[in-house]
Amino acid sequence: MNYVETGKVKMLFKDFIVVNEDSLNAASAAHCANDQKMFWEYHETLYNNWNGEGTGWASSKQLHQFAFTLGLDRDRFSECMSQSKWKDLVLSSHADGRR
């Protein structure tokens, strides 16, 4: 029996910034992808393309490329990222994880 599908259990995802600015940018980008119903696909792409701490793997250019490769709307994703739409949520989620 799948408890999530039956509604008996709710799955909750929290961001936790473990490295540096790359983590914050990647988490924000995943939430921007979620605006287009592509969170898990983007999340998987991030993990598959992680290239080590402090390598710049989550540069703005690279995060946008991931989005475009997945077929996300370029304008919507770019606007979301440039406005730092989800930064406060990511930081709040991180703070929850530190408690």
- Using the predicted structure, report yes or no on whether residue 18 has a pLDDT greater than 70: no
Q: Kindly list the distances between the CA atom of residue 74 and the CA atoms of 13, 63, 91, in Å, as whole numbers in the listed order.
A: 25, 11, 25
Q: For position 31, what pLDDT does the model report?
A: 92
Q: For position 90, what pLDDT does the model report?
A: 79
- Using the predicted structure, report yes or no on whether residue 92 has a pLDDT greater than 80: no
Q: What is the DSSP letter of 84?
A: T
Could you report the per-residue pLDDT of 34-87, keeping only the tens digit for each? 999 999 999 999 999 988 777 888 999 999 999 999 999 999 999 999 998 978
This prediction's pTM? 0.80
Q: For position 53, what pLDDT does the model report?
A: 76
> Which SS3 state, helix, strand or coil, does residue 63 take?
helix
- Using the predicted structure, report yes or no on whether residue 93 has a pLDDT greater than 80: no
- State how far the Cα of 29 lies from the Cα of 35, in Å rounded to an integer: 10
- State how far the Cα of 36 lies from the Cα of 43, in Å rounded to an integer: 13
Q: For position 15, what pLDDT does the model report?
A: 64
